[in-house]
Amino acid sequence: MKKIPIYQPSVTELEISYAVDAVKNGWGENCYAYIKRFEKDFAAYTGSSYSLATSSCTGAIHLALAAMGVKAGDEVIMGDINWIASAAPITYLGAKPVFVDVLEDSWCIDPSKIEAAITEKTKVILAVDLYGNLAEMDQIVAIAKKHNLYVLEDAAEALGSVFRGKKAGSWGDIGVFSFHGAKIMTTGEGGMLVTDNAALMERVRILSDHGRDPKVNRTFWMAELGYKYKMSNLQAAMGCAQLERVDELVNKRRDIFNWYTEYLADLPGIVLNPEPSYTINCYWMPTIVFDKALNIEAHEVINYLKEQNIDSRPFFYPLSSLPMFEKAEENKVSYNLYKRALNLPSNFSLTREDIKQVCQAIRTYVNKVLVPVN
Ligand SMILES: *Cc1c(COP(=O)(O)O)cnc(C)c1O
């Protein structure tokens, strides 16, 4: 049986031609040309006023939090089930991530749990759109307004998703994206920060250039310490090409997801990524959650699929269960969910037949564990 990898980017002659052009011509006075174009086109795509290309989404999160004024001793509220990259930059600033439980259906932060976690140290609510699913951004923004907090929307996994008519990443005071090789769109490594807030953007620009304030006309003079998280022109060239193809990329993910839905439709006791009527899901990672009653351990399914030459990956752990954070076992949904959920292959080269085969393997596994052997 041929191997089915979990993810792989889609690279065409367009990406190659832009990258070759950047290598040949993207120097001297052209050294920012693709970066400027990528930032402009990306802002237009998300419907945002300002954008900054970065070397990673982790860097964009660090810049965003610093621009929002997060400092030592502050708190940032986020959902417990998440990738470490959303939480780590909080600690770079000496602040503390406060983990609240996630919703059973979208696996994103539970808005009803946010207010109880707000203290006088809270500065930001960090809402992550997990696996393409959308956080309840309207409720989150309303809570933040009421308590005078910033919202940072981490849409690294939700490029192309839409919440109530607005693109993922455009709901928060700042939105961030990732172009790591496993994401929907890639530049190898890379990220993007978007915002409509001119004052925040000015802070982001200064902090992203080692604290250099463009309004201060004094070469090599810094009034404060900043960071450097720039994207290269070469990476931006690839980004321009991928962005031209973004609808095609998202549509392929949606096709793959729909094939999973079709071939798993009659398998009882499972759910896949939700798509409420007021959202469009880019389905970055097709994810299957087994009902508690089935008593299926996700890691055993992963092992079984591996024997069939099919790659899959575990759901994220609750971040509060990792050794560097305080346990938050009161987050009941998070602490139960991850054990019975896994991500399925979604790479761009997959065909309907491949997905049918993955679904057949899942079905065989489920039937095997459900039928008692005498
Ligand atoms: C991938 C990812 C990041 C980090 O992106 P990098 O570009 O690898 O730094 C941050 N947040 C989420 C939700 C991610 O999935």
pLDDT recorded at residue 207 = 97
Pocket of ligand 1 contains residue 187 by CB under 6 Å: no
Q: Answer whether 233 contacts ligand 1 (Cβ < 6 A).
A: no
Tell me if 163 sits within 8 A of 156, measured CB to CB.
no
**Alpha-carbon distance 277 to 274, whole Å?**
10
Q: Which residue stretches of the chain have pLDDT < 50?
A: none
Which atom of ligand 1 is least distant from the CA of 129? 13
Centre of ligand 1 to C-alpha 103, Å, is 21
Residue spans of beta strands (DSSP E) within 168-231: 174-178, 191-195
Ligand 1 center to 178 CA (angstroms): 5
Q: CB of 191 closer than 6 A to ligand 1?
A: yes
Q: How far apart are the first and last CA of the chain?
A: 30
Where are the CATH 3.40.640.10 domain residues in the chain? 13-244
How confident is the model over 249-279, as pLDDT tens digits?
A: 999 999 999 999 999 999 999 999 999 999 9
Residues ≥6 apart with Cβ < 8 Å to 240: 18, 34, 37, 38, 41
279 Cβ inside 6 Å of ligand 1: no
Tens-place pLDDT, residues 122-159: 999 999 999 999 999 999 999 999 999 999 999 999 99
Of 342, 277, 343, 336, the closest CA to residue 103 belongs to: 336
Q: Please give the distance, rounded to the nearest whole angstrom, from the Cα atom of residue 148 to the centre of ligand 1.
A: 26
Angle in degrees, CA 34, 38, 39, rounded to 5: 120
User: Which ligand 1 atom minimizes the distance to the CA of 182?
Assistant: 1
- The DSSP letter of residue 148 is T
Residue found by looking up tokens 């993910």 in the block:
253
Q: Looking at ligand 1, which atom is closest to the CA of residue 85? A: 10
Per-residue pLDDT tens for 228-246? Answer: 999 999 999 999 999 999 9
Tokens, residue 259 = 């094939």
Whole-number Å distance between alpha carbons of 250 and 23: 28
177 Cα–ligand 1 center, Å: 7
Residue span(s) of the chain under CATH 3.90.1150.10 come to: 246-370
What would be the CATH architecture of the domain defined by 246-370?
Answer: Alpha-Beta Complex (3.90)
> Does residue 169 line the site of ligand 1, with CB under 6 A?
no
For position 172, what pLDDT does the model report?
97
Q: Which pTM value belongs to this model?
A: 0.97
The residues near 43 (Cβ < 8 Å, ≥ 6 apart) are 49, 50, 51, 194
Question: 13-244, what's its fold?
Answer: Aspartate Aminotransferase; domain 2 (3.40.640)
